[in-house]
Chain A
Amino acid sequence: MKVAMQKTVFSVRNLTKIYDMGEVQVHALRGVDLDIYSGEMAVMLGPSGSGKSTLLNILGGLDTATGGEVAYKGKDLTKATDRELTEYRRFYVGFVFQFYNLIPSLTASENVAIVTEIADKPMPVEGALSIVGLSDRKDHFPAQLSGGEQQRVAIARAIAKNPEVLLCDEPTGALDFKTGILVLEALARVNRELGTATVIITHNADIAAMADRVISLRNGLIADVTVNAEKKLPGELRW
């Protein structure tokens, strides 16, 4: 199997996360063990409150764990300082969010440039936009783009730094089916052509078919990991 031979990007061991909400404590992660391999396309499935977003945020250096270990290429993220986490996000991780989070005052190409300006070895802005098929929309402001287009700009922005890993939190959550497929195609293309390890969180089980591996979470624990013997192209997905 292809996956087993790959190098490990993330290694997660006995990861716990407790949110202190004043009078109650919420156990978002209760001891997660997981590896993410370089170049793979992983889809994380789970209902609301299963802990998938928490896990993704900790992998992306946006949040810190309560216990356990998370290593990115052998480097322990749980002990990283705020400055180290900022640097980690700056150079190694790409994010895509449900609500795009573009900068409204910058055009599509400038939204990409805002990342390439601070990255180590970025790709050209035009290159990133052409991968997501938006070269002709590069001078448009977010308010002038559709939701799907905005999300593709967000993907271009995420990949422009040539990250090792792309973390996507419900990237199609705010989009209709047709636009959602376009976005997933862009993600699949990035994964295929650039070899960027990609983790997609979704509660849409149909998307799982395009993954190399499907990781299911429930109640803060990994419930199941399946390897797709044959993954589908996004264009073949239906929901």
Chain B
Amino acid sequence: MVVTPMNALNIKLTRDIWRMKGQVAAIVIVIVCGIANFIMFMSNMDSLMITRENFYRDYVFADVFANLKRAPESLKERISAIPGVAAVETRIIANVKLAVDGFDEPVMARIVSLPDDGKPLLNKLYIRKGRLPDAAKDNEVLVGDTFANAHRFSLGDRFGAVINGKWKQLTIVGVGLSPEFVLQLRPGAISPDYKRYGILWMTKTTLGTAYDMKGAFNDIALTCTPHANVDDVIRKLDQIINRYGSFGAYGRKDQMSHRYLNEEFKQLEIFSFIFPAIFIAVAAFLLNVVISRTVKTQREQVAILKAFGYGNIEIGLHYVKFVVFIVILGVIGGTATGVWLGRLLGDLYMKFYRFPYLEYRLDPSIFAAAIVISLAAALAGTAHAIRMAVKLPPAEAMRPEQPARYSKAFFERAGLGRFMSQPARIIARNLQRKPVKSLLSIIGIACACATMVMSGFFKDAVDYMVYIQFTLSQREDMKVAFIEPTSARAVYSMNGIRGIEYVEGYRSVPARFRFGHRSYQTAIEGINPGSVLRHILDENLNPINIPPSGIILTDYLGRHLGIRPGDWLTVEVLEGERPVRRVAVAALAKQYMGLMGYMDASALNHLMREGNAISGVSVIVDPLHKKDIYKRLVHIPRVAGAVVVKDEIRNFYDTMAQSMLFFTFVATLMAGVITFGVVYNSARIALSERSRELSSLRVLGYTRGEISYILLGELAILTLAAIPLGFVIGRGLCSYIAEAAASDIFRIPVVIEPATYAMAAAVVMVSAAVSGLIVRHRLDHLNLVEVLKARE
């Protein structure tokens, strides 16, 4: 056999593809979407991971961390001696209040100490601008780049800080990033808030002097040797530091910034599977439909080719090439689109996750996987049709295909037939004659609908979480935390501030919960029975009465610990005298963010063996006096910081808005593409199969509208049937995502608003209508005479 680059079969192939360009394009676009999604998510996950690894490695991110109350510097040697420890850094970390000119809301920051020589061994700084603070000058500070950007700070700018109760003006000498704070989240916050929370670095001497910690430290970071057992190191470290008021050492996996990144990777992984899977499955289905039809219409051509001596393999390869060509086009387009979207998504991530730079890259293995997956799916989808072409005996293929066999539709036999017009019968019987194809079309369109449901779901779920958390559960305007537990009488002094209309104290105690072999470190919140501002909710979102004894746990924490109401929980308090107590679990509470324990405030005081102490207050304020209140709070020494709930929520939505918009845009586009691909291809094939029938009807005097009704009515039924199924599939996928993405940080509630369903249905119907209109245009130009002359 002579193989030339363009033999006759290949010429036939290119012409066939050109003739079917509309359908080919529709399938290519579906593949483009699938591959683009795959590339976008996978390349981002890969790039972020690599970037993180490099940043961690180059800037020596610590392996183990621990906060404690205060320990002497001499302890460092003992810690260094723990087998498996490579390097130890002792630090002073403090939370402070800031006052930024021109910004009237409470601002909080965490100050981390730097060695006086400016060269930390671990968690090194990437200096974006300026220099490290000078140990000789106690007012120099280096600020995190997000905080600097949010306030448009330049080098030399100054802001006020209350450091250990003393007011101080700090001067910015540098802007930097640290592997420790890739994600900067105030403890307890729901989203990064760069205006109201910042990370600052000052020299250890300056901080030591300010906090009376000369020769002492309150934070440890260490790295382990390559083969060390990190859990062993943590356990041994705990043994050493426990008596110094430690809150417990923890590894990287529990370090906040690192954990959030891991959660993000988990979500990327889920998305990089779900969305491409939908598209590739739909593309395989569309290819199956188109190749089956092509093989059928080309029966006689196949017969002639075989009669001329072409072998089965050549015939099979001919159609395989058709499929491969479409897939290759899709992969090329999908990769280009995926890289483009990947960069956009990468830029979005860089707003949340602060790396010095994102090393965006497309690993060849991801590209290879995209090719293999799409080709495998496409060939699997078309294998049957191609086999039909291969197995066709030449003599039989020369004869026209047997006329299609029909039977009465199910509901006609059920007695509904007499209510049906003949066109309605045609629609019903056609749907029934190819039940598998009809069903697959329905599933394909349903996937589009499901994609839309998923895109809307995120906003609905977030709205719901915010509603539960900030309308039903936490009802205060502002939460004010004290530096140390304070007498409940502080409530009265807070009440005296002008503009504060209502005050309630709360107690929050850091603690580790143990049940069986499982444990979890969090905090117990003490709530006054009859609290107006704080409601703990049950499964049905009704407030739970705080029992006089016993503890209420977040439901997810209960499941995590494997504990049920009535069981006894071991509570290791990590504050004060650090008592260890057994407390009965009274109930489990519905909560979507964080994991907590709740107790009656006096029961908690009792457990702590303390008087009527509070950790802070929740307040309702007169909006008119907001700014004055903020100013007052900055200068009250015992106030560690304040959070305004409305700002928190607004900031949360601002942070999310862009990524929401991005995802909604991508999802809408994808849903439109799938619907269009399925409906357009179904319509084109129905038209090719039935143009003769429809022309006959035109000859008999049926109008264009009437024959369009027959062809498009069938698709309308498929589309309408697909929408409720899409709702079900969408909801199922949302549940899956919620389940897979659930963590102690947050659980996504499966809440989908009617508006989301309506939007999903609308996008599907509009896309179907658009493809219907394009086919209708072809129906209007049926050549009646041509079709009637031809044999079936």
A86-B703, A95-B700, A143-B403 known; A113 vs B788 contact (CB < 8 Å): no
A72 is an interface residue with CB less than 8 A from chain B = no
**B692 and A106 contacting across the interface, CB-CB below 8 Å:** no
A157 is an interface residue with CB less than 8 A from chain B = yes
In angstroms, Cα B758 to Cα A5, docked, is 69
**B430 and A105 contacting across the interface, CB-CB below 8 Å:** yes
Q: Which residues of B contact A88 (CB under 8 A)?
A: 701
In angstroms, Cα B194 to Cα A97, docked, is 79
Q: Which residues of A contact B693 (CB under 8 A)?
A: 101, 103-104
Near A by CB (< 8 A), chain B positions 609-653 give none
A114 is an interface residue with CB less than 8 A from chain B = yes
A63-B785, A95-B700 known; A143 vs B405 contact (CB < 8 Å): yes
Q: What per-residue 1/0 map shows which CB atoms of A92-132 lie under 8 Å from chain B?
A: 00010111011111100010011101110000000000000
Closest chain A CB from B381 CB (angstroms): 27
Report the stretch among B70-78, B119-127, B419-427, B515-523 that lies at the interface: B419-427
Q: What per-residue 1/0 map shows which CB atoms of B692-731 lie under 8 Å from chain A?
A: 1101111111111010000000000000000000000000
Q: Which residues of B contact A219 (CB under 8 A)?
A: none
In angstroms, Cα B405 to Cα A169, docked, is 26
In angstroms, Cα B700 to Cα A103, docked, is 11
**A101 and B788 contacting across the interface, CB-CB below 8 Å:** yes
Can you name the residue of chain A whose Cβ is closest to the Cβ of B408? A107
B387 is an interface residue with CB less than 8 A from chain A = no
**B426 and A86 contacting across the interface, CB-CB below 8 Å:** no
In angstroms, Cα B788 to Cα A169, docked, is 10
In angstroms, Cα B402 to Cα A119, docked, is 32
**B701 and A104 contacting across the interface, CB-CB below 8 Å:** no
**A105 and B425 contacting across the interface, CB-CB below 8 Å:** yes
In angstroms, Cα B402 to Cα A233, docked, is 35
B340 is an interface residue with CB less than 8 A from chain A = no
In angstroms, Cα B697 to Cα A74, docked, is 26
Which of B406, B692, B706 interacts with A101 by CB under 8 Å? B692
Closest chain A CB from B15 CB (angstroms): 17
Total of A-B residue pairs, C-beta within 8 Å = 90
Q: Which residues of B contact A141 (CB under 8 A)?
A: 405-407
Q: Which residues of B contact A194 (CB under 8 A)?
A: none
Can you name the residue of chain B whose Cβ is closest to the Cβ of A163? B701
**A110 and B425 contacting across the interface, CB-CB below 8 Å:** yes
In angstroms, Cα B692 to Cα A102, docked, is 9
**B701 and A87 contacting across the interface, CB-CB below 8 Å:** yes
Can you name the residue of chain B whose Cβ is closest to the Cβ of A89? B701
**A143 and B696 contacting across the interface, CB-CB below 8 Å:** no
**A105 and B426 contacting across the interface, CB-CB below 8 Å:** yes
Q: Which residues of B contact A203 (CB under 8 A)?
A: none
In angstroms, Cα B423 to Cα A71, docked, is 32
A57-B785, A113-B422, A141-B405 known; A105 vs B429 contact (CB < 8 Å): yes
Q: Which residues of B contact A30 (CB under 8 A)?
A: none
**A86 and B788 contacting across the interface, CB-CB below 8 Å:** no
Closest chain A CB from B399 CB (angstroms): 14
In angstroms, Cα B430 to Cα A201, docked, is 33
B110 is an interface residue with CB less than 8 A from chain A = no
Q: Which residues of A contact B700 (CB under 8 A)?
A: 89-90, 95, 114-115, 118, 157
In angstroms, Cα B788 to Cα A97, docked, is 7
B404 is an interface residue with CB less than 8 A from chain A = yes
B784 is an interface residue with CB less than 8 A from chain A = yes
B391 is an interface residue with CB less than 8 A from chain A = no
Residue from B403, B695, B697 having most chain A Cβ neighbours under 10 A: B403
A62-B699, A118-B702, A143-B403 known; A103 vs B421 contact (CB < 8 Å): no
B361 is an interface residue with CB less than 8 A from chain A = no
Q: Which residues of A contact B785 (CB under 8 A)?
A: 53, 57, 62-63
A62-B784, A62-B785, A104-B693 known; A143 vs B404 contact (CB < 8 Å): yes
Q: Which residues of B contact A83 (CB under 8 A)?
A: 703
In angstroms, Cα B402 to Cα A142, docked, is 11
Q: Which residues of B contact A57 (CB under 8 A)?
A: 785
B433 is an interface residue with CB less than 8 A from chain A = yes
Q: Which residues of B contact A115 (CB under 8 A)?
A: 700-701
The number of chain B residues with a CB under 8 A from chain A is: 34
Q: Which residues of B contact A98 (CB under 8 A)?
A: 789
In angstroms, Cα B430 to Cα A146, docked, is 22
**B425 and A101 contacting across the interface, CB-CB below 8 Å:** no
In angstroms, Cα B699 to Cα A95, docked, is 8
Q: Which residues of A contact B790 (CB under 8 A)?
A: 99
B152 is an interface residue with CB less than 8 A from chain A = no
A99-B791, A110-B425, A142-B403 known; A90 vs B701 contact (CB < 8 Å): yes
A101-B692, A141-B406 known; A106 vs B701 contact (CB < 8 Å): no
Can you name the residue of chain A whose Cβ is closest to the Cβ of B696? A101
A101-B788, A142-B403 known; A106 vs B426 contact (CB < 8 Å): yes
In angstroms, Cα B701 to Cα A90, docked, is 4
Q: Which residues of B contact A113 (CB under 8 A)?
A: 422
Which of B404, B421, B697, B784 interacts with A104 by CB under 8 Å? B404
Near A by CB (< 8 A), chain B positions 382-436 give 402-407, 421-423, 425-426, 429-430, 433
Residue from B406, B423, B704, B791 having most chain A Cβ neighbours under 10 A: B406
Can you name the residue of chain B whose Cβ is closest to the Cβ of A157? B700
Can you name the residue of chain A whose Cβ is closest to the Cβ of B706? A118
Q: Which residues of B contact A101 (CB under 8 A)?
A: 692-693, 695-696, 699, 788
A63-B785, A90-B702 known; A104 vs B403 contact (CB < 8 Å): yes
Near A by CB (< 8 A), chain B positions 747-792 give 784-785, 788-792
Closest chain A CB from B711 CB (angstroms): 13
**B426 and A103 contacting across the interface, CB-CB below 8 Å:** yes
Q: Which residues of A contact B406 (CB under 8 A)?
A: 104-106, 141, 143
**B430 and A103 contacting across the interface, CB-CB below 8 Å:** no
Q: Which residues of B contact A95 (CB under 8 A)?
A: 699-700
**A110 and B422 contacting across the interface, CB-CB below 8 Å:** yes
Which of B422, B696, B699, B791 interacts with A117 by CB under 8 Å? B422
Q: Which residues of B contact A90 (CB under 8 A)?
A: 700-702
**A86 and B422 contacting across the interface, CB-CB below 8 Å:** no
In angstroms, Cα B792 to Cα A98, docked, is 11
Closest chain B CB from A61 CB (angstroms): 9
Which of A89, A99, A102, A105 interacts with B699 by CB under 8 Å? A89
Q: Which residues of B contact A118 (CB under 8 A)?
A: 700-702, 706
Q: What per-residue 1/0 map shows which CB atoms of A30-63 lie under 8 Å from chain B?
A: 0000000000000000000000010001001011
In angstroms, Cα B692 to Cα A98, docked, is 13
Q: Which residues of A contact B422 (CB under 8 A)?
A: 103, 106, 110, 113-114, 117
Near A by CB (< 8 A), chain B positions 278-330 give none
Can you name the residue of chain A whose Cβ is closest to the Cβ of B433? A105
Closest chain B CB from A75 CB (angstroms): 16
Q: Which residues of A contact B706 (CB under 8 A)?
A: 118
Can you name the residue of chain B whose Cβ is closest to the Cβ of A170? B789
Residue from B422, B426, B706 having most chain A Cβ neighbours under 10 A: B422
Can you name the residue of chain A whose Cβ is closest to the Cβ of B788? A97
In angstroms, Cα B406 to Cα A57, docked, is 30
In angstroms, Cα B404 to Cα A98, docked, is 19
Can you name the residue of chain B whose Cβ is closest to the Cβ of A158? B700
In angstroms, Cα B426 to Cα A157, docked, is 16
> Top 8 nearest A-B pairs by Cβ distance?
A90-B701, A101-B696, A114-B422, A105-B429, A89-B701, A143-B403, A105-B406, A143-B405
Q: Which residues of B contact A (CB under 8 A)?
A: 402-407, 421-423, 425-426, 429-430, 433, 692-693, 695-704, 706, 784-785, 788-792
| 18 A-B contact pairs sorted by A residue (CB < 8 Å) | A53-B789, A62-B699, A62-B784, A86-B701, A86-B703, A101-B699, A102-B696, A103-B426, A104-B403, A106-B422, A106-B429, A114-B422, A114-B700, A117-B422, A118-B706, A143-B404, A143-B406, A161-B701
Inter-chain pairs besides A101-B693, A101-B696, A169-B788, 13 sampled, C-beta below 8 Å: A62-B788, A86-B701, A86-B702, A95-B699, A97-B788, A98-B789, A103-B697, A105-B404, A105-B433, A106-B406, A110-B422, A114-B423, A143-B403
